[in-house]
Structure 1
Amino acid sequence: MTIQNLIRPAIKALKPYSSARDEFQGNTDNLTFLDANENPFDNGVNRYPDPQQGKLKALISQIKDVPTENILLGNGSDEVLDLLIRMFCEPNQDNILILPPTYGMYEVLANVNAVETLKINLSEETFQPKTEEILAVANANSKILFLCSPNNPSGNNLETLSIELLLKNFKGIVVIDEAYIDFSTEESWLSRLNEFPNLVVTQTLSKAFGMAGIRLGMCFASAEIIATLNKIKPPYNINQLTQEKAIEGLRDRGRIKSQIDCLTEQRNALVKVLKEVKFVKIIYPSEANFIMVKVDDANKRYQQLIENGIVIRNRTTQPLCENCLRLTVGTVEENKKLIENLKKL
């Protein structure tokens, strides 16, 4: 298996659009820019942003210990996932594999791109990949396997040995979605990028970094994969305000660590108290900033909490999640309000 053999022929042959800011790569000091048809009157945002997000990528490279040539940034992780499907999957021919219950956008993005979705449910109760079944279902047109770890909505890490087996034996790209990795005790798969050429890792600033509002997703992969993704991404997909806010937030490492520690502590405290709620039947182990619980009647309990001013996520319609609710870990005050209402119901 080579990456080039997996890329769609039309993408390999594509001549990418070259923006004005891509074409000029020199020192910008004391230059007059009349190349991009911008409004020349300075208001702080009248110029196009850096299409390659150089300063921001340099900071992410430092934090994540990954070279900049192995990083692509997206308008949220959803744009990254969409680009990966467009890069590798031929419409009306290829397919992706997903392991429900999992993040719903994998299937939505496949549908948008006219790509079939093959589903192999995780194991009941433990929510682990059925590796033999996954490899048996995969066929010559299976181009991407999506793994979410820690998994959403179950909250658990997928077993390392299972992921290793899939990376070695699946004949396509394995995308590990690590949106919640900063809350986990497990090490990120970023440290093993060089070991598996078919490995792609996605992360986000929306969860642990507390910047959901700026919509910034991160993709880490081989330089070969990143170079091709850069061919097909929109030229200015990360706006200037997002780049500036991301740099500001990422530099405040003390705040980030403090909030992660607080949320992890609150998650563990919530688990202990949830054991005292009579209608909670199962509390699933979580390595994320949320907890999934099985209750007596998810629809009833969800509506009762709404009536008491608390919005959670009802996951009862998802595979293996009958009567399950997903509770995001909030502030100390928000969690106290949640528990008080759960005990009163």
Structure 2
Amino acid sequence: MRRSADIDALGDVLSAALGFRVPVCSIAELGQSAEAFAALPRPALARPTLVGGGAPYSPTSPAPTAQALDALVRRAKERDVPQILVPNVRRSDDTSALREAGFHPMAVGSECVVRLPGEVDETLRTRVGAGRLGELRRRHHTVARELSWERVRLSELGDSPWARDAFAALHRRQVERQGGRHNPYNAEALHALAGSALADRTELLIRRRPDNSVVQAGLLTNSHNGRGLYHLAQAVDHEDPVARRGLNEASLYALYLDARRSGLEWVHLGRGDADHTRRLGADLFVPLDHWLRGPDLPPPGGDEEDGAEPALSAFAAPGVSTVPVPGPARFRHRPRFDLLDLSSNTNPFLGAESTYPELDTAELARIYLATISKLPGHAGAGGLSADHLLFTSGAVDGVMLLLAALASPGQRVCVTPPTFELYAHFARVQGLSVVEVPLKGDDLSGLDVDRILAADPRVTMLCDPNNPVGTRLDPAQVNALVAGGRGLVVIDEAYVEFSEHPSYAELVDRHENLIVLRTLSKAWGLAGARCGIALAHPGLIDALRRVQVPFGFTNWAQRTVRDRLTNAEEALASVQRIRAERDRMAAALAEHPAVDRVFPSETNFLLARLHKHERVMDQLRGAGILVADTGHLVPATCRISIGTRRANTILLEELSAAL
């Protein structure tokens, strides 16, 4: 929770549960986060501890101010309590006051949030896949036939004493089952919560059988900004058969439906295992720390630095090294879902589209890397992290960003014609000198490594697989260029999914001078989403982020990309269809009397040299067929995209008509 008044109210609830006027207990008695406290000496687990927050009720606590910490320290001294715990603080908060006051951080996992931007089933399909969605729906319908769905407001709990008693009884049995000594969700705690300022925003979620036996009892609180719901606690009757048939998952799915019908935009699941909650639809994961102050504590570890920006690469242009990441993007890891946002000057009366896109794309980056790591030749990509990846507005935008961020006017950019023409175009626009070192060999797949190194360019742009030729470069030559040059090597892999040879993605963590560009416009069929990807050393990604315009990656595009990656089967099957049709067309064109040569291709297009280039191009234009005229790059050639079988057959017929 983000409002201090709410946390204070939950602190009073904890006091009521403990039976004291102030929330003092041992860490062991609190029964939370055993793994976070594993390194503590035994006395620290047993000594009295003042809990500065609403644990275990609050999902998160805002980092206390210096004044709040002073008051907390005074309170502990007045009661002769030697130890203070501030639980569940987001690592993205400003925790400098905690550190300066002598508190030590201990990593405790992440809070998990399910954001609901639209219809629940469609949202979950993009997150967990169609198969998993079907499983959740089946469990929901099965449980709904046996159990009711009731929400009892705490301010009206006096009219439903059975709900209060069932909640306390189920949680008492759960604590006993887990071997605990203290039940923080007892009747006294519930009474205190019902009398607090949170009562009108808090409800019991009850699921019971027709005979009125309660099988599940949970605690829900609406956020103070009115946009979401905190799922604070739940307990189930494990002896009831329905509890063993996916009751928790079924109830969460029903909760999403209920929240969305109420116009809410998110459901907070609290702390949990990220892999498990991903399967429940969670898409936002915020690292948390407990902060502890007391005698005999071990020195703090390095976890608290995880949110720090990576060191800027030495390849950054001088002007870039003097400026920070633009304001909104600099705070991309600070979640805003549960804030009352009055900072953006947007129209609050026109719905979700009036808000700016999400800037924290770390989870989407993880999904992309996990998805491509399963492709042939991409196994090493799974070892990269979100810090190695930047989403751009198409791969072409990535070219613009890297030239602006990493090269200065007058420096040289090397291109290897025939190649994608916009490399040289954007270099010249930005005042860079362009050096051309043509590809060699009959298939135009050889690099003149010695000549490129002799030119000593700031940036070398490689297109692999090549556009417009379709061939792959010699990997030994590419590796020699990366290892032997002083400048940056950029490999544009826009068509690599159609290739049978490996990607260079896994090498970016080993070579600070290597950038790999990818796109979802080609094999993934998302040209309209304008999603490119730059993979590079984190210090290079930081340099690119400093020149990138914030909010270019829309929420619609993010959801579309997530859906395609999560439900990848159709896209991957289409790649195989394109490969098969490419091979069929290559054979047909090679035998066609209008074609002199078909170049080898590991893309979704073919480069063909024509006998009567101008005549064939005129014939195709007259027939309403568009192919790329590449005669200015490779004499007498055109580049033919692989279309449907019907479209390809029509092309072959029109080629015959040109003879």
- TM-score scaled by length of structure 1: 0.93
Give the aligned residue type for 1:84: L
* 2:442 matches 1:125: yes
1:224 matched residue in structure 2: 539
2:370 matched residue in structure 1: 62
* 2:461 matches 1:146: yes
The answer to whether the 8 A contact 2:329-2:550 is kept is no
The answer to whether the 8 A contact 1:290-1:326 is kept is yes
* 2:327 matches 1:9: no
Question: Matches of residues 1-345 of structure 1 in structure 2 within 5 Å?
Answer: 4-19=313-328, 22=331, 25-26=334-335, 28-29=337-338, 31-64=339-372, 65=382, 66-91=384-409, 93-127=410-444, 128-136=446-454, 138-139=455-456, 142-318=457-633, 321-345=634-658
After TM superposition, the structure 1 stretch with the greater mean CA deviation from structure 2, 67-76 or 45-54, is 45-54
CA distance 1:265–1:102, shift in 2 (3 Å)? same
Q: Secondary structure at the match of 1:118?
A: strand
Tell me how far 1:194 sits from its aligned partner. 2.4
Give the aligned residue type for 1:135: L
The answer to whether the 8 A contact 1:208-1:260 is kept is yes
Q: Secondary structure at the match of 1:96?
A: strand
Q: Secondary structure at the match of 1:195?
A: coil
Give the aligned residue type for 2:622: E
Give the aligned residue type for 1:43: G
Tell me how far 1:5 sits from its aligned partner. 3.8
**Alpha-carbon separation, structure 1, partners of 2:432 and 2:489:** 16
**Alpha-carbon separation, structure 2, partners of 1:299 and 1:52:** 50
**Alpha-carbon separation, structure 2, partners of 1:270 and 1:331:** 11
The answer to whether the 8 A contact 1:175-1:200 is kept is yes
Tell me how far 1:27 sits from its aligned partner. 5.8
Could you say which structure has the larger radius of gyration? 2
The answer to whether the 8 A contact 2:465-2:603 is kept is yes
CA distance 1:314–1:13, shift in 2 (3 Å)? same
Tell me how far 1:42 sits from its aligned partner. 4.4
**Alpha-carbon separation, structure 2, partners of 1:73 and 1:323:** 37
The answer to whether the 8 A contact 2:312-2:321 is kept is no
Tell me how far 1:24 sits from its aligned partner. 7.5
Query: Once the two structures are superposed, what CA deviation does each residue of 1:206-241 show, in whole Å capped at 9, x if it has no partner?
Result: 100001111110000011111221122111121122
Query: Once the two structures are superposed, what CA deviation does each residue of 1:41-68 show, in whole Å capped at 9, x if it has no partner?
Result: 2423111111232342232132232311
Give the aligned residue type for 2:559: E
Higher RCO (CA < 8 A, seq sep 6+): 1
**Alpha-carbon separation, structure 2, partners of 1:125 and 1:105:** 24
The answer to whether the 8 A contact 1:298-1:323 is kept is yes
Tell me how far 1:197 sits from its aligned partner. 1.8
Query: Once the two structures are superposed, what CA deviation does each residue of 1:166-221 show, in whole Å capped at 9, x if it has no partner?
Result: 00111111000000000000111012222222111000011000011111100000
Percent identity between matched residues is: 26
Instruction: Return 5+ residue gaps in structure 2 as ranges.
Output: 1-310, 373-381
Tell me how far 1:135 sits from its aligned partner. 1.6
Q: Secondary structure at the match of 1:35?
A: coil
The answer to whether the 8 A contact 1:39-1:46 is kept is yes
The answer to whether the 8 A contact 1:53-1:238 is kept is no
Q: Secondary structure at the match of 1:19?
A: helix
2:73 matched residue in structure 1: none
Aligned length: 337
Tell me how far 1:22 sits from its aligned partner. 2.4
CA RMSD of aligned residues (A): 1.8
